[in-house]
């Protein structure tokens, strides 16, 4: 008979420890969560030294190149479209040509930008020349990443338009740790 009250007192003591920790939770009136709250409070009490490392640090992730390659045919179509619309039936004139080269350049760049291909930089080069039976040669070389970077060109009579698309590399997805 004497054992019963001892058991009861022991039970009460056991019952006290978790109940002290879970007072706050009970105050929130979430009876369904009492089991979970009891387990978390007990963890914090036992492993108090983890307070310094509560923020989880992730390793840096890198994206080495663009996810989607540049659509070369779409750009060629843009070049064809712009050159034919601006230079249709036009004769060479000094001031008009000066303005035209800049305008065509900017229009092409804006349209290529509108394609919204991420992780690419673009360089557009336009030459307009006068046809007077002279000879001309244009060459170019590039040092780039052959898997991702592309080049297209289109010429119409004496207007030559070259467009390079270069992929960007190495954007850290997280800021560097110091």
Partner 1 sequence: MTGMEEYQNGSEGAFNSEETDGIVKECIENVVAGDDYSQGQVNKWTASIVERCLTQLVKQGKPYKYIVTCAVMQKTGAGLHTANSCYWDTAMDGSCTVRWENRTMYCVVSVFAVAIA
CB of 105 to partner 1, least distance (A): 4
With binding defined as CB under 8 A, does residue 124 bind partner 1? yes
Among 25, 87, 125, 156, interactor with partner 1 by CB under 8 A: 125
CB of 131 to partner 1, least distance (A): 8
* CB of 117 closer than 8 Å to CB of 123: no
Among 59, 94, 116, 175, interactor with partner 1 by CB under 8 A: 94
With binding defined as CB under 8 A, does residue 156 bind partner 1? no
* CB of 129 closer than 8 Å to CB of 155: no
Nearer to partner 1, 83 or 126 (CB): 126
Half-sphere exposure of 151 (CA within 13 A, CB side): 11
Q: What is the DSSP letter of 117?
A: -
CA distance linking residue 171 with residue 103, whole number of Å: 32
Among 123, 155, 157, 174, interactor with partner 1 by CB under 8 A: 123
Site residues for partner 1, window 129-148 (CB under 8 A)?
129-145
Nearer to partner 1, 56 or 143 (CB): 143
CA distance linking residue 63 with residue 67, whole number of Å: 9
**Two tokens, residue 139:** 């060459």
With binding defined as CB under 8 A, does residue 25 bind partner 1? no
With binding defined as CB under 8 A, does residue 30 bind partner 1? no
CA distance linking residue 104 with residue 36, whole number of Å: 67
């Amino acid at each position: 008979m004497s054992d019963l009250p001892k058991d009861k007192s022991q039970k009460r003591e056991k019952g006290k420890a978790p109940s002290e920790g879970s007072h706050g939770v009970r105050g929130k009136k979430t009876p369904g969560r009492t089991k979970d709250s009891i387990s978390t409070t007990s963890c914090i009490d036992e492993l108090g030294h983890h307070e310094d490392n509560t923020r989880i640090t992730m390793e840096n992730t890198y994206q080495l190149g663009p996810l989607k390659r540049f659509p070369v045919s779409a750009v060629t179509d843009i070049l064809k479209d712009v050159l034919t619309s601006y230079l249709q039936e036009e004769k060479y004139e000094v001031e008009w040509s000066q303005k035209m080269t800049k305008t065509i350049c900017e229009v092409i760049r804006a349209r290529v930008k509108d394609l919204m291909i991420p992780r690419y930089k673009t360089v557009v080069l336009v030459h307009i020349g006068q046809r007077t039976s002279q000879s001309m040669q244009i060459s170019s070389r590039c040092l780039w990443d052959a898997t991702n970077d592309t080049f297209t060109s289109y010429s119409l009579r004496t207007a030559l338009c070259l467009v390079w698309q270069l992929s960007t590399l190495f954007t850290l997805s997280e800021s560097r740790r110091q």
